[in-house]
A and B are shown apart, each in its own frame.
Chain A
């Protein structure tokens, strides 16, 4: 290789590439670029939020426009935890209430059944028996006595239930209405 070609890179001005730029291109580049970048970032955040359909508390804080409304400190951060706790408590109360109502219904039905049995045996104490049964049913309804089906079964161990007393249709209607799982769990 001759010296002329070997030295060509040394002779060339390495600071000059021949490339030029539009006049004033660099003058306001930081403003135009930062505006573009920041607006793109904001638009990316909005897109992500729309895709998720979730607004996280921190993002809400950063992106919201000022309205003058305020919330207690850490309210949004703790909202999910508090909401879960409250939901759990409500579910537990609802379940307990449903179980208690079922127990009361069963107890009242059995008491009413024995009442009718007594009435059929003799008319002499009929009014007294009916009155007593009504009182008992009222106590149960008002939740003034607490006992379960085991207590009742123990108290009336010598009584045999008449299988023909309830029509199949009535039993089916009752089973449709009642939550069987609750009965099993309770009894």
Chain B
């Protein structure tokens, strides 16, 4: 049996659940953190969303059927949690998620936990202007170097559509740089 399958069996067993859950967090915490961070941008909100993600994972692990990789399933939960977090915040602020994202990028300059240079800040501004799905695809491919097959599993979108989406995202970002720099 593969390591992941063993871990899933242990996660579903009440006797080994707690210990294996620690292993699960230990294995995936960093990747999930950075995935969420690139969506919600600041550390405190990322910490909240990461906690919610692991709570959902723990709560629904019994219903995990193994149709996708555990990692993909967790990535999908993290993505949904992050987007739903932003949607709630945007609604509370009386705006849509797109405009809200662009406003949040402007807070990065004053953020203690952002030390990027001008180009990196401009890149975040350019990403924030992309449609939500293209933002996800760009972040996952450009920064995380995820395979299209894995992205397809996580985002439930065909590989072809993802490639097209990434291509459009790159073009738009390059155009943004051309206009801004």
Contacts and interface: CB of A to CB of B under 8 A. Distances in A.
B75 interface: no
Contact of B18 (A18, A19, A38): A38
A30 B29 contact: yes
A17 B29 contact: no
Contacts, number: 93
B113 A20 contact: yes
Interface residues of A, number: 29
A29 B29 contact: yes
Given A18-B117, A37-B58, A30 B51 contact: no
Contacts of B123: 12
Interface string B105-147: 0001000011111011101100000000000000000110100
A19 B37 contact: yes
Contacts of A41: 55, 58-59
Interface stretch (B86-94, B153-161, B169-177): B169-177
Contacts of A2: 178
A87 interface: no
B122 to A, nearest CB: 9
A156 interface: no
Interface of A: 1-2, 5-6, 8-9, 12, 14-22, 25-26, 29-31, 33-34, 36-38, 40-41, 62
Given A1-B174, A20-B115, A30-B22, 13 more contacts: A5-B175, A5-B177, A5-B178, A14-B143, A18-B108, A18-B121, A19-B37, A21-B33, A21-B43, A30-B26, A31-B22, A34-B21, A38-B58
